[in-house]
Structure 1
């Protein structure tokens, strides 16, 4: 699973995780969900 973020208006790969469990652990450990909202864009 790859994670992308918008950097200066361009999607940039910012992470790669083997499973959703690894991604969830990273999000929790880094406190990335605190005070944020998600936006999903479908192409």
Structure 2
């Protein structure tokens, strides 16, 4: 999936804390990110 790049993105990952807060009801999805090489 290609996505547009944002200037100053803010990423909030609440997957693992949500697991604790929900008494293991809501689990974070397994995922991975592939970064394209930087070309100057």
How does the TM-score come out when normalised to structure 1?
Answer: 0.28
Larger strand percent: 1
Larger radius of gyration: 2
Question: Taking structure 2 as the reference length, what is the TM-score of the superposition?
Answer: 0.28
